[in-house]
Structure 1
Amino acid sequence: MPDITLQSALAQVTIGLIAGCFYAMLSMGLAIIFGLLNIINFTHGAQFMMAAFLAWIGLTQVGPWLGMPEFQIGFWPALLVAPLCVAALGMAVERLLLRRLSHLDHLYGLLLTFGVALVTEGLFRHAYGVSGQGYEPPESLQGPVDIGFMLLPKYRVFVVGASLLICLSTWYAFERTRLGAYLRAGTENPRLLQAFGINVPLMITLAYGFGVALAGLAGVLAAPIMQVTPLMGGSILNIVFAVVVIGGLGSILGAMVTGLGLGLVEGVTKVVYPEASTVVIFVIMALVLLLRPAGLFGREA
């Protein structure tokens, strides 16, 4: 066991909490899409990566393209624009491709999203290579915050606060509002809901776009912390799938709680036994599948 100081332990737990925020946002988006279409969206990692690249392009590339080297789209506009652009592309995929496969076995939708993810990643690798691109946080969020027992970067504090706010708002919207009730009813009995005058296909498209937008928000928030690279989506998606399985497929609350909890578990494991930090989540997934196949928050079929 390595020598452990209080400050190093808290630093690793904080890093785990930040990772857990990204896991929670991504897995909530996956849970929403699975609950609506019964499809595991393999493009989620590519959409996460795409939003991070759009933010980086707005900061570093737009000015030279327009002949104005000093011009750039800052972090705050990118935090809004990039997820909306990615969501629009996601809705186009759902409307033009996934909807055409809705009457077939759901395996076809899974294969389609897997193919779209490979194509998207390949296009960005061809355009930008696999080396990471730097993306700075806004000036207002640079520098440390003294929280008494340690210094913490302002931007990481902002990421934790913003992620928790987004996750809680999403859970409330889907579980405690009339819109959420319509969405749940649309997944269980769409014909009955359509008989009451609700445009179910449009509602599903918008909800799919919202799930994709969550991945986009996570991508923009992650851009100043991670290296922006075409491979960033694939590396995090494996863990996010494990989070969704542990929390329960289609459970929004399970995705949020499990994502945050497993991020903390990963951080603590890096302190206690660093060699196991890369596999601890998958060990937990295997145990949950053995003891409760529907997941911690999932419903038995």
Structure 2
Amino acid sequence: MNLYLLQLINGIGIGMIYFLLAVGLSIVFGLLRFVNFAHGAFYLMGAYACYAFMQLGGSFWLALLFGPVVVGFCAWVAERLLLRRIYDLPHEFHILFTLGLAWAIQELVILYWGPVGVNVSPPAELNGVVMWGAFIYPKYRIFLIAFSALLALVIWLLLERTRLGSIIRAGSESPEMVTLLRINVYKIFGLTFALGAATAGLAGVLAAPLRGVEPFMGIEALAVAFVVVVVGGMGSFSGALLGGLLVGIVQSVMSTLWPQGASLMIYVAMALVLLLRPDGLMGRSQ
């Protein structure tokens, strides 16, 4: 029984990383109607930012603070100089352009750090395990769950209790409404895109001590992010949270029941959700 409880808790931790990875993708599409295939590359940048900070003698805590800021700033520059020019084009152009951007980032990572993955150690304060009787669990994973839950609350407050959140939610319902309110839509679009990329970068920083970093991790992350968004519902914060937890728990538990098919089962779960609720668990009919 302890094994399945352990895998359930592991699934919650993984699911919270998936939530942070997917929530930015969901919000960006909800507001901008922009298909961003470079989102996994921002996760990759966050993971390597964590590695770079620690290699330069910094701490994991500095990486956790500044890594997402660096990723968000790079995304803001890319949106301002490049992506803003293709918003009005068909989705096919969005996909091709952002795929090219993702591959460029991946190749730059390979050129600088090489094609071989490296390990990232958790901070010294979070090394070791916590024991509750016969149940043993790593300190870093406990921190990951607690910190991600706090971040989820902060993001919810940002979306539900601030003027920026009101504009983002209004834009998700009707982008034309934002324009009619005489709001600088391009400024809001750029800020939203940067925030979405920063959350993906934050997910990369948090994931680095769990799985290490390697140049191709962005491709896997992108696939999982789209699964979470489809399962939860496009443009929905609660959908991204529910979808991330569901996908993380399914993957973690199935790694015990059927290790060879653990990754496959998340796509089976997505197919089942689409059959029962085509707009996702928390999505609205478009």
TM-score range, shorter chain: over 0.9
1:241-297 Cα deviation digits (max 9, x unpaired): 111111111111101111012211222222233333121110111122223221111
Q: Matches of 2:146 and 2:19 in 1, distance apart?
A: 13
Residue 242 of structure 1: aligned partner: 227
Structure 1 unmatched ranges of 5 or more: 1-5, 63-71
Which of 147, 163, 179 is the equivalent residue of 1:162?
147
Matched, 1:104 2:89: yes
- The alignment status of 1:15 with 2:6, answered yes or no, reads no
Q: In the aligned structure 2, how far is the partner of 1:269 from the partner of 1:173?
A: 34
Residue pair 1:36, 1:187 contacting (<8 A) in 2 also: yes
Aligned to 1:68: none
2:35 counterpart of 1:40: yes
1:257 has 2:252 as partner:
no
- Please identify which structure carries the higher helix content: 2
Distance 2:180 2:233 in 1: 30
Deviation (angstroms), 1:159: 0.6
TM-score with structure 2 setting the length = 0.93
What does residue 192 of structure 2 align with?
A: 207
Change (3 A) 1:127 1:282: same
Distance 1:188 1:265, change over 3 A: closer
| Contact 2:228–2:243 (CA under 8 A) maintained in structure 1 | yes
SS of equivalent residue, structure 2 residue 116: coil
Shifted more, 238-247 versus 179-188: the winner is 179-188
Q: Distance in 1 between matches of 2:133 and 2:192?
A: 42
Which residue type is aligned with residue 273 of structure 1? W
Q: Is contact 1:42-1:113 (8 Å) kept? A: yes
Deviation at 1:229, TM superposition (A): 0.7
Shift of 1:101: 0.9
Q: 1:41–1:127: structure 2 CA closer, same or farther, 3 Å change rule? A: same
Q: Is the 8 A contact 1:186 1:200 kept in 2?
A: no
The superposition leaves residues 45-94 of structure 1 with CA deviations (integer Å, 9 ceiling, x where unpaired) of 1111111111111111x3xxxxxxxxx11111111111101101111111
Question: 5+ residue gaps in structure 2?
Answer: none
**Structure 1 residues 247, 192: closer, same or farther in 2, change over 3 A?**
closer
Match of 1:66 in 2: none
| Structure 1 residue 100, shift from structure 2 partner | 0.6
The answer to whether the Cα contact below 8 Å between 2:53 and 2:62 also exists between their aligned partners in 1 is no
> Larger radius of gyration, structure 1 or 2?
1
TM-score between the two structures when normalised by the length of structure 1: 0.89
CA deviation string 1:18-49 (max 9, x = no partner):
21111111111111111121122211111111
Identity in percent:
42
The aligned counterpart of 1:85 is 70
Q: CA RMSD in A?
A: 1.8
Distance 1:292 1:221 in 2: 31
Secondary structure (helix, strand or coil) at the match of 1:240 reads: helix
Query: SS in structure 2 opposite 1:145?
Result: strand
2:205 to 210, 214, 220: 220
